[in-house]
Amino acid sequence: MVAEGVDCEEQVEVLAKIGCDWVQGFVFGAALPERAFVQLLGSAAKSTGAFEARPAAGRNAACAVPQTDPPDEPRALIVDDGSGRLGLLAMRMNRIGAPALYASAPDEGMLFAAEQGSPIRALVISSDADIGAVTRLVDRIEGTSSRAPALLFVAEGELAKPLLDLRSRCRIWSLREPLDDAQLQDVTRSALYGTPPGAAHRQHPRVPCDLMATVAVGDHSQAAMLSSLSIRGALLELAKRPPVEARVDVAFPLEDITIRAPATVLYHAGPAGAAPTAIGVLFDALPAESVDAIRTLVEQRSVRCLA
């Protein structure tokens, strides 16, 4: 017999008494995305006695428990209000590779926030959450990780002013459903890993995109994928990256027009620990028609960075 969703030692003891042989749940560790799990297994394989058979309250049956520190990959903490409505969001975030812990209520969130290990860099919570509960969670996370988390509010309307006042401590994002995976991946990546070095001039709000573009340096041009866009600039994925501060010409289709934007390369970007695969550019002054087209796209998207 296997029991799932076991969260504490007391549950292990009760299950052992009624004849359960194997248990699985947060009592041993939180769920991990594939990349973090592979990293954990790799670390364990290099250690002596990395995995230990852990008996369930004295029984012979056991569960394999990693005896190694968790990866230092930043995590998000999703704190529900007891309704379970954010549970699906937690599953989606883990599926797209954004490590996320799920707490069913603020009191449980406080326990996760106090845990040592991989730092919590983003707190995901409903926009109607109590400001006192949110502030206590931010305080606890900052005390444990030495840094206040980004706040991702799942919003049905405008955020209340007391929540917006947290901008003095945290970057704040507003997530409005329905939210597709590309948008969710983009905003959680920004919240977990922060703004790339040299990107201080990038202006929000920005939105994720999936547009083909061309990037030209002088007489040489190449195809690129425009993966995020704001009125002031864009993030472009391409094979050969122009150097930082290079002057480039960017062109991409939007609605019924083609945007042609002279720009400056501000920074190189890429996944943590990997070679850069993209460039962030700052547009020069754009024609009013281009600005209007970009602004329309931005306003149609549900993700907004408020600070």
pLDDT in tens, 264-273: 999 988 765 6
Residues of the chain with CATH 3.40.50.2300: 75-193
Return the pLDDT at 63. 44
The pLDDT tens digits for 85-123 are: 888 888 888 888 888 899 999 999 999 999 888 899 999
The pLDDT tens digits for 15-52 are: 777 777 677 776 666 666 555 554 555 444 444 333 33
Task: Write the CB contacts of 267 (distance below 8 Å, at least 6 apart in sequence).
Answer: 196, 197, 198, 199, 244, 279, 280
Assign domain 207-286 to its CATH architecture.
Beta Barrel (2.40)
What single-letter amino acid sits at 104? S
Assign domain 75-193 to its CATH architecture.
3-Layer(aba) Sandwich (3.40)
pTM assigned to the model? 0.49
Return the pLDDT at 234. 93
Residues of the chain with CATH 2.40.10.220: 207-286
* More confident position, 159 or 140: 140
Return the pLDDT at 251. 96
Average per-residue pLDDT for the chain: 77
Return the pLDDT at 258. 94
Return the pLDDT at 299. 65
Short-list 165, 117, 109, 118, CA closest to 140: 109
Find the length of the chain: 307
Other C-beta atoms closer than 10 Å to the C-beta of 250 total 21
**Does residue 171 contact residue 151 with C-beta atoms inside 8 Å?**
yes
Residue 212 pLDDT > 60:
yes
